[in-house]
């Protein structure tokens, strides 16, 4: 084996573990916790409001200078993963303790967001420029595979109880912690390399049609971000078991979304960014129609299965094309800073709507809620044609993927 192949194998293995570790807590907070709470008969409004903890991922750039300046990336990664493992262990013991459980969910989100920044920085620092493409593909796949874990935990919960499911997740995180201790040391970023967010924002807002571009960034995935938090509670209310919910919505769903994400990348490569944005924007809205229809007509099991698969197709396509769009809006010289700001912008609106999703579903009903998520995809489609002249055909920004 040549030195290059050996290096790629090592970096690919590290990226697989680290990005699986990124997806693990995110999937638990966004998918598993809403399902668990609904089985505990928590009202939809409260489940939706729990999405407030997702602001940890939205505003994580605020404490990114600490990660650059204090200690090493390896130390931040191991510390964050240790907190994640301990928190999941605490949830196994205290999942019935009310406010303590909600506090643990918040700690899990903050530790996860911190881990994300340290892992991204470590990977960028360790990966040679020529390997960024292949390593990025590994990152995406590992992250999406981690999102299957909530489905596995649902199966565990169905057979052995909720404590066992959280304990299983804690064991997985503990294994990642042990592996993270073997990472090579690093020096962290230099002060000169730290992003200047204010300068980057000012520069970006001065570009042509920045307001319209920002509108698309804020709204393109709004319908998809809104629907996610209510999918598991909807299945619970329709009488499905944790094992069946986990198998269909998480395991099979994530496999479908990975395939769709790959298809989305091929779509951008073959037809360019602008037509892909239009086509996938339409597909995202159509994919949500599946849940709207089955909720409206009270369809049976197989119809809901089809709705779950369609929604994941839209999710996978939208992820790849939208991130390519965000990357295309970043100048190479300011790519890291501008990408962080743009991803924070779309996460902000998504988190606000996800937080309100439970109240909407509870008071308006599932049919009205799901049809609303379809409508939320329309504003971006109306705006996109007005910025066709400023959308590059190929993305030029950083190879970064957010959950």
- For residue 381, the domain's CATH number is 1.20.1250.20
Q: Which of 194, 215, 242 is the last residue of a domain?
A: 194
pTM over 0.75: no
How many Cβ atoms sit within 10 Å of the Cβ of residue 274? 19
Could you give the percent of the chain with pLDDT greater than 90? 13
- What letter would DSSP give residue 220? T
Q: Is 378 helix (H, G, I), strand (E, B) or coil?
A: helix
Tens digit of each residue's pLDDT (9 = 90 or more) over 324-345 = 787 677 665 555 556 667 777 7
Lowest pLDDT segment from 119-133, 253-267, 281-295: 119-133
* 353 lies in the same domain as 250: yes
- Tell me the CA distances in angstroms from 176 to 21, 213, 314, one per residue in order: 7, 39, 31
When the pLDDT of each residue in the chain is averaged and rounded to a whole number, the result is: 79
- Comparing 130-139, 146-155, 213-222, 241-250, which segment has the lowest mean pLDDT? 130-139
The answer to whether 49 and 172 have CB atoms below 8 angstroms apart is no
Question: 3-class SS at 365?
Answer: coil
How much is the pLDDT for 392? 66
At residue 202, the pLDDT reads 72
Do residues 248 and 308 lie in contact, with contact meaning Cβ atoms separated by under 8 Å?
Answer: yes
Question: DSSP letters along 70-83, please?
Answer: SS-HHHHHHHHHHH
Band the pLDDT of 192: cuts 50, 70, 90: very low
How confident is the model at residue 170, as a pLDDT? 92
Are 342 and 235 part of one and the same domain? yes
Whether 115 has a pLDDT exceeding 90, the answer reads no
For the segment 175-183, the average pLDDT, to the nearest whole number, is: 86
Query: Looking at the structure, do residues 99 and 200 belong to the same domain, yes or no?
Result: no
Domain residues for the domain of 264 are 196-403
pLDDT above 80 (res 14): no
Tokens of residue 331, six digits: 């100048």
What is the average per-residue pLDDT within 363-377?
Answer: 91
237 vs 199, which has greater pLDDT? 237
**Same domain flag for 8 and 47:** yes
Kindly state the tokens that stand for 238. 């329709």
Assess contact for 202 and 81: CB atoms under 8 A: no
pLDDT tens-digit profile of 247-277?
Answer: 787 778 878 888 887 788 778 777 888 888 8
| Same domain flag for 188 and 207 | no
Whether 137 shows a pLDDT value over 80: the answer reads no
Domain end marker among 194, 216, 244: 194
How confident is the model over 319-327, as a mean pLDDT?
78
Q: Do residues 225 and 283 both lie within one domain?
A: yes
Number of domains in the chain: 2
Report the pLDDT value the prediction gives residue 43, as an integer from 0 to 100: 83
Q: Are 207 and 175 contained in the same domain?
A: no
- What gap in Å lies between CA 71 and CA 395, rounded to an integer? 33
* Same domain, yes or no: 33 and 181: yes
If 0-12 CB within 10 Å is exposed, 13-18 middle and 19+ buried, where does residue 210 land? middle
Q: Is residue 184 domain-shared with residue 223, that is, in the same domain?
A: no
Indicate whether 56 and 25 sit together in one domain: yes
Among 173, 194, 215, give the residue marking a domain's end.
194
pLDDT value at 191 more than 50: no
> How far is it, in rounded angstroms, from Cα 93 to Cα 251?
26
pLDDT in tens, 30-74: 888 888 888 888 888 888 877 788 778 777 777 777 776 777 788
Residues 149 and 217 in one domain: no
Please return the burial class of 220, using the count of CB atoms within 10 Å of its CB with bins 0-12, 13-18 and 19+.
buried
| The token pair that represents 400 in the structure block | 């970064």
% of the chain exceeding 70 in pLDDT: 81
Structure tokens at 103: 């506090």
- Please indicate, yes or no, whether residues 140 and 255 belong to a single structural domain of this protein: no
């Amino acid at each position: 084996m040549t030195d290059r192949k050996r290096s790629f194998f090592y970096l690919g293995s590290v990226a697989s573990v680290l990005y699986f570790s990124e997806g693990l807590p995110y999937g638990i907070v966004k998918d598993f916790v809403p399902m668990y709470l609904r089985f505990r008969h928590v009202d939809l409004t409260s489940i939706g409001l729990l999405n407030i903890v997702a602001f940890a991922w939205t505003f994580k750039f605020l404490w990114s200078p600490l990660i650059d300046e204090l200690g090493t990336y390896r130390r931040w990664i191991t510390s964050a993963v240790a907190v994640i493992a301990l928190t999941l262990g605490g949830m196994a013991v205290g999942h019935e303790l009310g406010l303590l459980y909600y506090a643990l969910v918040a700690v899990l989100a903050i530790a996860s967001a911190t881990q994300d920044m340290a892992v991204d920085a470590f990977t960028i620092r360790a990966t040679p420029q020529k390997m960024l493409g292949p390593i990025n593909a590994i990152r995406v796949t590992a992250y999406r595979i981690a999102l299957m874990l909530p489905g596995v935990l649902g199966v565990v919960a169905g057979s052995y109880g909720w404590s066992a499911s959280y304990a299983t997740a804690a064991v997985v995180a503990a294994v990642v912690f042990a592996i993270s201790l073997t990472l090579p040391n690093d020096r962290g970023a230099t002060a000169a390399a730290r992003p200047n967010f204010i300068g980057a924002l000012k520069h970006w807002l001065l570009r042509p049609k920045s307001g319209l571009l920002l509108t698309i960034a804020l709204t393109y995935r709004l319908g998809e971000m809104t629907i996610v938090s209510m999918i598991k509670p909807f299945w619970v209310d329709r009488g499905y078991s944790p094992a069946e919910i986990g198998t269909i919505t998480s395991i099979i769903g994530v496999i479908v979304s990975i395939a769709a994400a790959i298809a989305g990348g091929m779509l951008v490569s073959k037809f360019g960014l602008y037509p892909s944005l239009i086509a996938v924007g339409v597909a995202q809205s159509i994919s949500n129609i599946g849940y709207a229809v089955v909720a409206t007509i009270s369809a049976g099991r197989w119809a809901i299965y089809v709705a779950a698969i369609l929604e994941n197709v839209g999710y996978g396509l939208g992820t790849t094309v939208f991130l390519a769009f965000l990357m295309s809006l970043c100048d190479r010289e300011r790519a890291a800073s501008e990408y962080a700001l743009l991803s924070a912008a779309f996460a902000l609106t998504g988190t606000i709507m996800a937080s309100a999703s439970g109240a909407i579903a509870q008071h308006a009903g599932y049919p009205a809620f799901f049809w609303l998520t379809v409508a939320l995809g329309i504003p971006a489609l109306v705006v996109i044609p007005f910025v066709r002249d400023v959308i590059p055909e190929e993305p030029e920004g950083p190879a970064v993927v957010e959950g």
